[in-house]
Amino acid sequence: PMSENWSATDTYLADFLVGDDPALDDALAANAAAGLRPIDVAPVQGKFLHLLARIRGARRVLEIGTLGGYSTIWLARAVGESGHVTTLEYEPRHAEVARGNLDRAGVGDRVDIRVGAALDTLPELEGPFDLVFIDADKENNSNYVREALRLSRPGTVIVVDNVVRAGAISDLDDDDPNARASRELVAVLAAEPRLDATALQTVGVKGWDGFALALVVE
Ligand code: SAM
């Protein structure tokens, strides 16, 4: 089936372009040992986020949804030694695993993990952030974009993961809450005059999905 080709090709690309990365491999192993679900971004996507942050010259990054900190490591590397990542996680156990992974990866001192429901912790934060990566409970994506806007300035980049959901977004008979949230999200992105946005479908080791990318323009 097609999904096997997607996976094999993703692995081929990652072998060349991501390569061996003991800190990231160790983080995934620690996640698995702790029983965390393997719902981190794929290696090629982690590197994409890392490059995007560097292209933006991001020094302050906000992440919503830490899990074991796999994407957090990629983002923390991108901001450099004097940069900072704030990452929000609901599950204390996930935050604890992430703390270990970030420290072992040598970027722990530039990452602040805030434990709690993101809708509760976001109002405590002060911006502006240069890049916001939204990857938590998908039903709140529109709320997270509104909060991200409050914490932005013109030039801030906002990435929202998992908006395509194997095409469920465009299957209007599919009333799965996550699919509905994706439809609401793109409507919010389209209607918000402070944002210029697009969305891309992706295939790979994580199946068929995609992300939205928005630029804060005013
Ligand atoms: N960004 C991570 C990565 O790529 O390595 C993966 C994040 S995982 C897809 C989503 C995470 O969001 C889970 O760890 C989950 O516990 C967390 N989460 C769910 N609801 C949340 C909420 N209301 N506030 C903060 N985090 C939440």
CATH of the domain at 94: 3.40.50.150
**What residue numbers bound the domain in which 181 lies?**
2-216
Exposed (0-12), middle (13-18) or buried (19+): which is 213, by Cβ within 10 Å? middle
Residue 68 has pLDDT above 90, yes or no: yes
Identify the residue whose C-alpha is closest to ligand 1 atom 13: 67
CA of 54 to the centre of ligand 1 (A): 23
The three-state secondary structure class of 75 is helix
Amino acid at 60: R
Report d(CA 19, CA 54) in Å as an integer: 19
The verdict on the CB of residue 147 being under 6 Å from ligand 1 is: no
How many distinct structural domains can be found in the chain?
1
Instruction: Tell me the average pLDDT across 194-215.
Output: 97
pLDDT interval class at 2 (50, 70, 90): confident
What pTM, to 2 d.p., does this model score?
A: 0.98
Residue 133 has pLDDT above 80, yes or no: yes
The verdict on the CB of residue 113 being under 6 Å from ligand 1 is: no
* Percent of the chain whose pLDDT exceeds 90: 98
Largest CA distance in the chain: 48
pLDDT at position 1 = 74
CA of 64 to the centre of ligand 1 (A): 7
CA of 10 to the centre of ligand 1 (A): 23
Q: Which atom of ligand 1 is nearest to the CA of 91?
A: 16
Q: What does the mean pLDDT of the chain come to?
A: 97
Residue 96 has pLDDT above 80, yes or no: yes
pLDDT interval class at 102 (50, 70, 90): very high
Which of 28, 70, 90, 120 has most ligand 1 atoms within 8 Å of CB, for mutation?
Answer: 90
CA of 153 to the centre of ligand 1 (A): 24
pLDDT interval class at 97 (50, 70, 90): very high
Report d(CA 41, CA 207) in Å as an integer: 11
User: Tokens 């029983």 sit at which residue?
Assistant: 35
pLDDT at position 3 = 86
